[in-house]
Amino acid sequence: MTPSHLRRALIAGLLAAIVPFVPARAETLDKVTFGTNWVAEAEHGGFFQAVADGTYRKYGLDVTIVPGGPNENNRMLLIAGKIDFFMAANTLMSFDAVANNVPVVTIAAIFQKDPQVMLTHPDAKVTKIEDLKPLTLFVSKEGMTSYFQWLKSEYGFSEKNVRPYNFNPQPFIANPKSAMQGYVTSEPFAVEKAAGFKPNVLLLADYGFNTYSTLIETRRDVVEKKPDLVQRFVDASMVGWYNYIYRDNSAGNELIKKLNPEMTDDLLAYSVAKMKEHGIVDSGDSLKNGIGAMSDERYTSFFNKMVKAGVVKADIDFRKSYTLRFINKGVGIELRPNKP
């Protein structure tokens, strides 16, 4: 071997010995901002779980969750391009976006069932939704323009017995011949703590109010320009929700309590138990297609009901409000126990 060959061989050997010890460049994570529509709570748990247990990072994402609240409008931040994704309340918001040419689109539905309920006193002997008609009904302004219009068109309810609901359970507690709106995951718990009785609960979704709830929205330009980012955020969020509902959710709950000290362990446990009991997150189409599932048939059905109820206009192109591109792939489904 000539000196030059020897020199090259020595250099090659040295390089081979050195390269394995060179630290790998840290993986670059895509920064993502996700805004919720309320303060941190169990109803947002899967998103916080995916942050806390590192699921988003496994999908190459550095996710910051921006909690909502009474004085926050994270949807406006989405529209303005200040955040990347937003958690919308329900399908009616999607229809409204189309009607007003707002450039957002729904990419997943975390809740297969809307958690909206009506609560009654145990002695009221209410067993079906029609039994609510003679009672005094405490309904919010938002409720009057949405699900109550459906109750009128579908079940013949009247506004004569309606009283304003100001998110205070005391008028309901004081009147045994009344019913109060709420979420199955929270208000029954609050009433039981305050009044010492377990209220009867009627979940409107079980009577045909088939809106999706807790939607993930983004802007149309994000879908068009960054589809891989959108897919990774959706997939990681679904895994986060499986882990939160069915597995050890302590990491997610600790993050929720850190951001919202009013959340207690017993309320968080109650909310998760009710989401599982009523199939809020995982039922219907999601059993086959995975959490986040949506379908054209379901959207069409709910749209027709809202048109009949006079809540939305029949001429809007509601199919522009959502896309099935990023869901129905069964992502994370293996994390579900055999019996949901």
pLDDT tens string 324-333: 999 999 999 9
231 and 167 share a domain?
Answer: no
Task: Tell me: do 224 and 314 sit in the same domain.
Answer: yes
CATH of the domain at 217: 3.40.190.10
| Residues 6 or more apart in contact with residue 145 via CB below 8 angstroms | 311
Q: Are residues 131 and 190 in the same domain?
A: yes
Please tell me the predicted confidence (pLDDT) of residue 70.
Answer: 87
Residue that finishes a domain, picked among 161, 185, 207 = 207
Same-domain pairing of 310 and 223: yes
- Residue 179: inside a domain: yes
- Structure pTM? 0.90
pLDDT, mean of residues 300-318: 98
Residues 139 and 253 in one domain: no
Specify whether 109 is located in the same domain as 225.
yes
Q: In what order do the strands lie in the sheet with 85-90?
A: 61-66, 30-35, 85-90, 213-219, 104-111
Identify whether residues 193 and 298 lie together within a single domain: no
Range name among 10-19, 21-30, 244-253 with the lowest pLDDT average: 10-19
Enter the DSSP assignment of 281.
S
Residue 62 domain boundaries: 30-113+211-335
Is residue 126 included in any domain, yes or no? yes
The alpha carbon dihedral of 215, 149, 285, 103 has a sign of: negative
Structure tokens at 150: 């459906």
Name the band, by pLDDT with cuts 50, 70 and 90, for residue 339. low
Q: How far is CA 197 from CA 100, 176, 271, in A?
A: 44, 12, 18
Give pLDDT tens digits for 239-270: 999 999 999 999 999 999 999 999 999 999 99
Other CB atoms within 10 Å distance of the CB of residue 141 = 10
Q: What is the pLDDT of residues 166-198, one digit of tens each?
A: 999 999 999 999 999 999 999 999 999 999 999
- Assess contact for 60 and 30: CB atoms under 8 A: yes
Residue 67: count of CB within 10 angstroms of its CB? 19
Same domain membership, residue 330 and residue 193: no
Which tokens in the block code for residue 315?
């001429």
Number of domains in the chain: 2
Beta bridge partners of 120: 179, 200
* Summary mean pLDDT of the chain: 92
Structure tokens at 197: 């009785």
Which structure tokens are listed for 192? 């039981």
